[in-house]
Each structure stands twice: as structure tokens, then as C-alpha cells.
Structure 1
Amino acid sequence: MQTHHPIRNDDPRVIRMDRGNYTTCTIILKGAAVTSWMIEGAEQIFLSRISKLDDYSKYRGGISLIFPHYESWIYGRNHGFARDLMWSLQSGPITDKNGDVHLTLFLTSNCFTKSSWNYDFEMHYSLILKSSELETKLIIVNPSPSITFEFQFGQHWYVKVKDVTKVFFQGLKGLTYIDKMNVNPNIPFLVRTNDVLTFTDDNKESIDQVYFDTPDELNIISEEENKIIKITKANMPDLNIWVPGKKIPKINDLDLDECAYFVVTDFGQIYHTKVLPPMSRFVTTQTIEVIKIRTPPPKHGHFLDYFEDIC
């Protein structure tokens, strides 16, 4: 079970979007990180109970942004600097006529970012909280009149689940992927023919796989919760799935018993770089919709058959 974190609603670094009916979203300005998303009181995002949400510590969980580099980087820590910096509030939170709550955050280059990545840039990150959906839009701008830059980006999302051994990824049929846990230099790319990726008690080691050219719609199905998480995205072709196994070494900011309650997904341009010409911008969007199945699934047959006429 997760515990409450020492974070106050009156902290100016914390922004709370409230749609009513116990449907809320909490964002901290450090890294523009989503640390909580609740639908009718039910938490949808994993955050380690031992994470410290302060200005200096890194945390394990939430939805954070990857930019301008994915994974290890000689100029800084993993996944770049966007999730380490303090963002500015550009607009919101504002509630529209439908009751949806809108928020936009802003980050631009400065002396610190140029010390490791010497380019001018702007980032505009918009969120819309709906009754059962969280919409995000990321705009990356190259304001330079003459200089082109390359970058990687993504959303580093800890999906909270009740039991990781009863989670299915649907929509992977025919995709090319690499398995970072079993790298064969002679066969670096494999082709997946199954539509569904599952995690079982037999997964003793971590699962760390990158899928390429993923479809614009994917489903994450949590059997234990009778729930579908539908992801609709644009300009986010790559997907990295990471699940810690039972043999994983101790991680300083994660209790070992917490490994059963999350799946990490990175959607974005994470394996190849994106080229952004001068005076241009790049726009990417993602909608996460939680579909709760009120009727329990049948006790016999394959669980995914229950969703065949729904998805």
C-alpha cells in the first residue's frame, strides 16, 4: 500500500487540478511531474512511498518528461534535464464549460541547460483533466533563426496496477522490438508476432523492451481491477516497457515489495533522435482514458476474450 507524501496543497510549487467528484490531478513544478491522478478517489499513478518530493531529491514514480536525451547521458543524469528543472506556470488551472480543467506549463533554455546542451529551446506542456481521461500536449520549439538541433523526448509513466502478474499490453502484433535484457549483437532486432504481452510470476528478471512504430492506439488491461487503460497518441512512435523482476537489486528510492504494483511505460521518440529545423516546432499529444468494466469477467476462458467486442 502507498502512503501519503509530505506535500502540501498550499505549497506554491504544487498545482492541483480539481474537477469535482474526487477527480483530481496534482503536478509539481519541479520537472512538471504529475504525481497523482485520481478518478472518483481511485489513484491511477504509482509513486513510491519513500520518494521525497523536494527540490533536490529524485523520486520514483509519477509521469515525468524525458528531454533532450533518453537513458544514460554523459552530460547529466538519465533522461535529460527537463524533469530536474523548475517549470513556470503559463496558464490555469482553468475550468471550461464542460467542467474539464486546463493547465499549461512552460520551460525555456537558460545558462544551466546550455552548459550541457548548447541550444535555445522552448517547451509548452498542456494538461486537460476530464472525468475519466488525462490529455497531455507537448510543444517543443526551436526559436533559433539558423541552428538545427536533434533531441529525444518521452513521457516516463509509472502505471499503478493492483497486480503486475495480471496485466496485459494489447496492440503489439507484428511490431519490431529489441530486448535490452537479452542483447544478441548478431540479432539486435526481433519481430513480435503476438498481440499481447503479459507478465507472470515466471518473470524472475526485469523486462526491458523497446517497441518501434507502435500504433496510435494501445490498451493496457488490468485483469485484477477489471479495467482498460486506453492510450491514444500522436508523434510518439516508440514504447519502452520496463517491469522490475524478483531478482532486481535494491533500488534506493523503491521498496522491494512495491515492484508488484507498477509497470513503467515510456512513450515518445526515445530510440532515434528527432531533428527540429530553425524557427519550427514539434507537437505531440497523448490521451490516457481509464475504462472501468463494471461487470466481472467470466471465470472460465481467456480473460482477453471478455474485451474482444469492447476494444
Structure 2
Amino acid sequence: MESENAVASSTPSVDVCKGINGLNKVVLRESRGNSAEVYLYGGHVTSWKNERGEELLFVSSKAIFNPPKAIRGGIPICFPQFSNHGSLEQHGFARNRFWSIDTDPPPFPTNFSSKVFVDLILKSCEEDMKIWPHSYEFRLRVALEPGGDLMLTSRIRNTNPNGKPFTFTFAYHTYLSVSDIGEVRVEGLETLDYLDNLQKKERFTEQGDAITFESEVDRVYLSTPTKIAVLDHERKRTFVIRKDGLPDTVVWNPWDKKAKAMADFGDEEYKHMLCVEAAAVENSITLKPGEEWKGTLELSAVPSC
């Protein structure tokens, strides 16, 4: 197995290799040394490092890389539902299915600049049809841009042969690595309405000029801008989140009590992570047979004061 701290290469590369517990993963490297890792289990990005080898995503030290348990951290894909409704499991089933490398993806726009990317595909199977009786194709492209930005593009198509539409909600459940949650602020969501999951999804309006953290937070901000900033003062780093096709933004930190209640999460790890998730939660997406939906997430990490 290759070293996780491989020396930066001057040659961009896309390599398939074995990860934890022998699970297949794809390692992307661009010419300056930025890298990303994607497990085929879950179509799950588990690492995004800058050119200095610093990890930008949070994955719990207690994460369980053992199907059917979803991996705790990185960027889980929530489909066909976000949260927990009806007979489907929490956050849907895409994050604990085995995806395949897509060898014949539909063409991307000509302005797509990255040469370092992998295309994955997930299709409906018998197991899924029992709990969600719809035929679909979910294509996911994970790309490292020339400057090290990480881009995820999801394309979901209704392939139902029976003429029936289907409806879903969605999120990129992004866990960012931060130095100290008490020193972090989120900008771009001020004055917006949100649903508070800690208060029975009651609707409130954000009053602060930025979101800061002193206790558990679990909110769905509605009709959010396409660009949001997460400032980490201690590391002098700002994460810039750009999204398209995803109107909502989920902000989550479990804080101490919930952290201790999760078997796959360290008791003190809530201090070093923050989920800021590009999502479509409030209004479900409906696709007729043959229709396709696209949702894009782009993450940048830039120096800040």
C-alpha cells in the first residue's frame, strides 16, 4: 500500500489502490502536490490535502471503514434523502453502497478545466428497489482543479421504465477540519431564515453578522447564496464553498454530549470539525423519466488574516 504522505509529484495522476480494510480507493494528485482520495465505497471523498500536505477535511479517528457502516467524516453523499424520513435509512443509501468507476460518462461542458478527476457511477439495485422502488443512474465526478480546489459534480437521472417520476432530497455532508470550533465563523448566511433541527424544525431568522459556535448547532439555512466562507482564525485559513443547484446550506456541530454518544466519533473531536453542507432539503427535487438533475460543490482553502 502506498504511503499516505507521498512526496508531491510534478506529474498529475489518478491511481486506484487499496485503502483501509482493503477497500478500493482512487487517489488524485495534481502537479503542485494537492491531493484527494475517494473510496468507491460510498463514492466517499475521505481526504483533500493542500500542496503542503495539510489535511483540509475531517475524518474521525474512530471512523469505521467497514460496510455497511457509513464512513464518519470527509464528504458523505446524502441521497435519496437528507435526514430521516419513512422507511429509508438516515441520509439515504448512496453513502453505503459500492460505486463503480464510470468508464463511459456523458460529456462534460467544454469549459471543464481539470485533468485530474475520476468519474463514478451508482445504479439502482434489487436491494435499493425494495426500499425505494425507482430506477436511477447517479454519476459523480470528483476533480482536483489546477490550483488545488476540490470539485464534486453529481448528475442524477430518472431511468424508470414505468413512466413514473421520483422525488429526492440531497446533501454533500462536508466535514471541514478546523483548529478550534470556538475560533471559527461562517459568513454569508446572515439575515437568512433557517430550520432549527434542535427545536422541531421551527423556522428562525439568523440575527448575527456571522455564525459562531458555543454549543450544539444543527440548522438548515434556506435559499442561501452560491458562495459561503468559513473563517478559521487560528490557522489563518478560509474555506470558500461555492455551490450550484443546491439552494440550502446545512450547518452542524454535535458538541460534547452528542459526540460522546456516537461510537464512531471521538469525545473531543467536535472541537476540530464543522459540517457546512451544500444541500437541497426544504424543497424536494422531482425528476420525470429521462430527466437529469445536476448539483455542484466547489471547495477552496485560501490564506486569511
Q: Shorter-normalised TM-score: what interval?
A: 0.7 to 0.9
Q: What residue number does 1:199 align with?
A: 213
Give the Cα–Cα distance (whole angstroms) in 1 for the partners of residues 90 and 20 of structure 2.
29
Q: What residue number does 2:266 align with?
A: 255
Name the SS of the counterpart of 2:234 in structure 1: helix
Shift in alpha-carbon separation, 1:242–1:190, aligned structure 2, 3 A: same
Q: 1:37 aligns with which of 28, 33, 48?
A: 48
Identical aligned residues as a percent: 25
1:122 correspondence with 2:133: no
Shift in alpha-carbon separation, 1:135–1:86, aligned structure 2, 3 A: same
Shift in alpha-carbon separation, 1:181–1:106, aligned structure 2, 3 A: same
Q: What residue number does 2:96 align with?
A: 84
Matched letter for residue 280 of structure 2: Q
For structure 2, list consecutive stretches of 5 or more residues without a partner in the other structure.
Answer: 5-17, 105-111
The within-5 A match list for 1:258-277 is: 258-277=269-288
Matched letter for residue 253 of structure 1: D
Q: What residue number does 2:151 align with?
A: 135
Greater Rg, structure 1 or structure 2?
1
The within-5 A match list for 1:160-309 is: 160-183=177-200, 188-200=202-214, 203=215, 206-248=216-258, 249-293=260-304, 297=305
Q: What residue number does 2:172 align with?
A: 155
Give the Cα–Cα distance (whole angstroms) in 2 for the partners of residues 117 and 181 of structure 1.
28
Give the Cα–Cα distance (whole angstroms) in 2 for the partners of residues 231 and 34 of structure 1.
16
For structure 1, list consecutive stretches of 5 or more residues without a partner in the other structure.
Answer: 298-311
> How far does the alpha carbon of each residue in 1:159-211 deviate from its partner, in whole angstroms, 9 at most, with x for none?
11111111111011221112222348xxx3212243310113xx2xx211111
Give the drift of 1:10.
11
Alpha-carbon RMSD: 2.2
Matched letter for residue 299 of structure 2: I
Q: What residue number does 2:7 align with?
A: none
Give the drift of 1:100.
4.0
Give the Cα–Cα distance (whole angstroms) in 2 for the partners of residues 98 and 150 of structure 1.
32
Q: What residue number does 2:12 align with?
A: none
TM-score normalised by the chain length of structure 1: 0.83
> How far does the alpha carbon of each residue in 1:26-45 deviate from its partner, in whole angstroms, 9 at most, with x for none?
11101100011111201011
Stretch deviating more after TM superposition (37-46 or 284-293): 284-293
Structure 1 ranges of 4+ moved more than 2 A: 7-12, 54-59, 73-77, 97-100, 246-250
Q: What residue number does 2:8 align with?
A: none
Give the Cα–Cα distance (whole angstroms) in 2 for the partners of residues 194 and 221 of structure 1.
15
Matched letter for residue 100 of structure 2: S
Matched letter for residue 227 of structure 1: R
Q: Is the 8 A contact 1:70 1:271 kept in 2?
A: no
Give the Cα–Cα distance (whole angstroms) in 1 for the partners of residues 256 and 62 of structure 2.
19
Q: Is the 8 A contact 2:185 2:213 kept in 1?
A: yes
Name the SS of the counterpart of 1:63 in structure 2: coil
Q: What residue number does 1:103 align with?
A: 118
Give the drift of 1:284.
1.1
Give the drift of 1:277.
1.5
Matched letter for residue 239 of structure 1: T
Give the Cα–Cα distance (whole angstroms) in 2 for the partners of residues 57 and 173 of structure 1.
35
Stretch deviating more after TM superposition (188-197 or 44-53): 188-197
